[in-house]
Amino acid sequence: MGPARGLLAWFAFGAVALGAIAVSGGVPALLPHRAVLVSAATAGVSRPPGTPLTVVAHRGASADAPENTLPAQRSARAAGAVWIENDVQPSADGVPFVLHDSTVDRTTDGTGSIRRLTSAQLKSLDAGAWFGSAFTGTRVPTLAEQLADLREHGGNLLLEIKGPHTRDEVATIIGVVRAERMSRRVLIQSFDPVALQHSYDLAPDLPLGLLRDELDADPVAVSARLHLAAYNPAGAALMARPSAIADLHRAGVAVLAWTVDSADGWRRLDAAGVDGVITNRPAALIEWIASASPSRPPR
């Protein structure tokens, strides 16, 4: 099974509600209808007819809890999201942390570049009080901590390598994924093609996704060159050229759109055939899927 087909099998598995997932040995154990789901996903590369969108919680349930924290991840999981999206950057001493901005100023009580702060300094920061007093004392998680929570409690990770990374920095991220026994539950994405190339060179078994603000002139050619399992453009850019979805599916590449928070956007992307939507409002998207298609559980 190629990386893209394997990814689509993952998405088919995600159609099972999170509460019904059994985790065994660090890898989700598929339920009895596994064969039906996987064969349906791999029979063709596009989303199988009659199956729902994959819901990806952007930085966790970031509308309900401080972004990129374990409370946000747990809130997304409680809502039924099987996929969590994050942002990973290294500390000054090389530890991968989960943080979106290049500085800690906006989402913690500290100041300065994440790359100039040691892991000890980052762990001393409050990453929750800015969002609400109920989250006071929340810490910036390391990638290892986030993966351990997913491994123990369920869920998959759409791991964004945030900004340019050296080969050694990418190797460290991959090492954490391996150490946490999460290789089969992580998809690595980035806006930076060089970071993706490093990942492919170091770990060709890990599926890759390319983030784009605008569509490339030939997304299929770009996907082939970078060995992509997923092509992940902004939702508005994708809807300006929805024919690209079918082109990518014919090439065996999944399509995830970011970051879409409105029912109208979900409806248009669903109708266009995207495989999944990255959203700040996973609970609302799951409710929308249930109301639009009551017989189809969100995935």
Number of domains in the chain: 1
The torsion region of residue 133 among left (phi > 0), alpha (psi -120 to 50) and beta comes to alpha
Q: Which residues contact 290 (CB under 8 A, 6 or more apart)?
A: 297, 298
Predicted confidence (pLDDT) at residue 65 exceeds the cutoff of 50: yes
Does residue 165 have an active-site annotation? no
Within-domain flag for 297: no
Within-domain flag for 298: no
Q: Residue 66 in contact with residue 135, Cβ under 8 Å?
A: yes
pLDDT digits (tens, 9 = 90+) for 154-187: 999 999 999 999 999 999 999 999 999 999 999 9
Residue 294 has a pLDDT of 53
Q: Which of 100, 165, 198, 249 is catalytic?
A: 100
Within-domain flag for 299: no
pLDDT digits (tens, 9 = 90+) for 195-224: 999 999 999 999 999 999 999 999 999 999
Distance (Å, whole) CA 276 – CA 266: 10
Within-domain flag for 44: yes
Within-domain flag for 238: yes
Distance (Å, whole) CA 135 – CA 68: 13
C-alpha gyration radius of the chain: 18
Within-domain flag for 125: yes
Tokens 């090492």 locate to 175
Give me the mean pLDDT over the 25-43 stretch.
27
DSSP classification of residue 115: G
**Beta carbons within 10 angstroms of residue 24's beta carbon:** 7
Take residue 123 and report the two structure tokens written for it.
Answer: 């762990």
Q: What is the CATH number of the domain that holds 230?
A: 3.20.20.190
Provide DSSP, 213-236.
Answer: SS--S-HHHHHHHTT-SEEEEBHH
Does residue 33 have an active-site annotation? no
Tokens 């669903």 locate to 270
**Beta carbons within 10 angstroms of residue 204's beta carbon:** 11
Take residue 267 and report the two structure tokens written for it.
Answer: 């409806």
Residue 299 has a pLDDT of 58
Q: Residue 182 in contact with residue 147, Cβ under 8 Å?
A: yes
Within-domain flag for 264: yes
Predicted confidence (pLDDT) at residue 225 exceeds the cutoff of 60: yes
Domain of residue 284 covers: 3-292
Predicted confidence (pLDDT) at residue 20 exceeds the cutoff of 80: no
Give me the mean pLDDT over the 100-105 stretch.
99
Within-domain flag for 55: yes
